[in-house]
Amino acid sequence: MEKIAVFGTGYVGLVTGACFVNAGHNVTCVDIDETKIERLKKGECPIVEKDLPVRIEKGVQSGNLSFTTNASLAVKNCKVIFIAVGTPTKKGSEEADLSAVFAVARTIQENADSSKIVIQKSTVPVGTGDEVEEILNSQIKSGEDRFFHVVVSNPEFLKEGRAIHDFEYPDRVVIGTNDKEAQRVMRKIYVPFMRTSDRMIFMSRPSAELTKVVANTMLAMRISAMNAITPLAEKFGADVTEVRRGIGTDSRIGTAFLFPGGATFGGSCFPKDVRALIAIMEESGMDAGIFKEVMEINHEQRMRFIGKILNYFEKGDITGKKIAVWGLSFKPGTDDVREAASFDVIRTILEKGGTVSVFDEHAKEIFRNEFGNVKGIEYCDDQYVTTKDADALVILTDAMEFRLLDLERLKKAMNKLVIFDGKNLHDPEEMSKEGAHYICMGRPFFNPKS
């Protein structure tokens, strides 16, 4: 068992802490947000993440998971310290805001009374590990016989909604450090998750930092490549879903992350990491063209989808029309709405004079907080209630409850059966047979049978 401190109780910090405790370690989670810490102490989970609430409850009951705002005590008590605080993109810039990471580094530096292994889990630009190590060791004067703190990069590859599973059954654990003692300790803390095979990959710290942004950029590139193909498929009457199956069965390509759609990728990681890679390359005087294109395609595809919604109505006039919107989060199984397609879609409909009636199983309240209770938006607790007297339905996530439609109910509720499917969930021909005007991306359109 290792005594571990985790700074930051967001998605990454909480999942990391809860999974380490479940594997037999002792974890202290630290945050500056007192209200959040009080809720966590009571066993309450502040985010929607499958299996996390039970892990937290079990951890607190066992006495091996604790929550505190007392950073100094946590630093003194633990040799292993994870930094998992937020690194949001700075407003009006492409750069990540690293102030929280540096603040934790200073806290460790000020309170440590022995040498620490500090593990950087927050996504940061390449080279940040060097800066953190510099802050941590800033009081050491040359020649002074004092402890030295080591910084390890250990990026997370957790998908929201499946984060516990991804942590406990990782494809790989990337450890960026050349320090032998740090490597030994990292192996020890991750060994419970390596029972089937050793999937720990040791590398230098910059390589690990780069691995994280490149992994997410590669996945985002696949999605953008598929999105870029959708107008071509539409032009030639091809179906991108068939193309996806055709190429995904090539074992060199594989099936994952090839789903195109009008509700293009969002979340806290893909947009941020691709932008971060572009920023580092440009700062270094390199051409990031290929990666810039990934973001541009993502934006253009979303706009093309919104264009299809508007253009359905005569002269693009959506004034007075009621649009039902299903799915507010950036993907199902989470309440995270960061960079979700819902913002662009809903904002445009409202700006053009339409109204919206929205549903999301988990993200309604968070979306309401972000977007506000503005005029023209109605928040519903039932997905079908949104469709009453609606002129169209827009689907924005591939949540399980959107994959089969109660068409009879929709026909009765809606003014006309018009569906814009941002995730290509349904069969266009089948939908037309049901009398639906069904529009998605990169698939043929069939006139609705009356």
Active site members: 269
74, 83, 116, 141, 177 from 113: Cα distances, Å: 12, 18, 9, 16, 22
Q: Which residues pair with 202 in a beta bridge?
A: 175
Residue 340 CB-density burial (10 A; 0-12 exposed, 13-18 middle, 19+ buried)? buried
Asked if 202 interacts with ligand UDX (CB under 6 A), we say: no
The mark string for 312-341 relative to ligand UDX (x by CB under 6 A, - otherwise) is: ------------------xx----------
420 counts as binding ligand UDX under rule CB under 6 A: no
- Check residue 115 and give left, alpha or beta (phi > 0: left; psi -120 to 50: alpha): beta
Place of tokens 């202290």: 28
Task: Identify which of residues 135 and 274 has a Cβ nearer to ligand UDX in the complex.
Answer: 274
Taking residues 160 to 179 in sequence order and writing x for each that binds ligand UDX by CB under 6 A, - otherwise, the string is x-------------------
Q: Is 358 helix (H, G, I), strand (E, B) or coil?
A: strand
The sign of the dihedral angle between the CA atoms of 39, 45, 47, 48 is negative
The only residue of 67, 167, 259, 420 in contact with ligand UDX, by rule CB under 6 A: 259
List the one residue out of 130, 138, 69 whose CA is nearest residue 110: 138
27 binds ligand UDX (CB under 6 A): no
Q: Candidates 31-39, 83-91, 255-263, 381-389: pick the segment binding ligand UDX (CB under 6 A).
A: 255-263
Which one, of 170, 159, 95, 168, lies nearest residue 336 by Cα?
159
Examine residue 87 and tell whether it contacts ligand UDX (CB under 6 A).
Answer: no
Least CB distance to ligand UDX at residue 326 (A) = 14
* Span near ligand UDX by CB under 6 A; candidates 43-51, 71-79, 93-101, 259-267: 259-267
Residue closer to ligand UDX (CB basis): 6 or 223 = 223
Q: Which of 193, 202, 257, 379 binds ligand UDX (CB under 6 A)?
A: 257
The residues facing 377 across adjacent strands are 356
Name the one range near ligand UDX by CB under 6 A: 60-68, 153-161, 311-319, 426-434.
Answer: 153-161
> Count of residues binding ligand UDX (CB under 6 A)?
19
Is 269 a residue that touches ligand UDX (CB under 6 A)? yes
355 binds ligand UDX (CB under 6 A): no
What are the Cα distances from residue 363, in Å, to 11, 239, 336?
15, 32, 7
Question: Given the rule CB under 6 A, which of 58-66, 103-111, 171-179, 252-260 is the region that contacts ligand UDX?
Answer: 252-260
User: Is 270 a residue that touches ligand UDX (CB under 6 A)?
Assistant: yes
The residue number whose beta carbon is nearest to ligand UDX equals 269
Q: Could you give the CA distance from residue 143 to residue 122 in angstroms, rounded to a whole number?
A: 32
- Other C-beta atoms closer than 10 Å to the C-beta of 141 total 7
Length in residues, the chain: 450
Distance of closest approach, residue 391 Cβ to ligand UDX, in angstroms: 26
Q: Decide if residue 156 touches ligand UDX (CB under 6 A).
A: yes
CA end-to-end distance (rounded Å), the chain: 67
CA distance 3 to 286: 43
Quick check: 265 binds ligand UDX (CB under 6 A)? yes
Q: What is the DSSP string of 14-51?
A: HHHHHHHHHTT-EEEEE-S-HHHHHHHHTT--SS--TT
From candidates 16, 109, 216, 383, binder to ligand UDX by CB under 6 A: 216
| 258 lines the binding site for ligand UDX (CB under 6 A) | yes
- Only one of the segments 151-159, 308-316, 406-414, 434-442 lies at the binding site for ligand UDX (rule: CB under 6 A); that segment is 151-159
Residues at the interface with ligand UDX (CB under 6 A)? 156-160, 216, 219, 223, 257-259, 261, 265-267, 269-270, 330-331
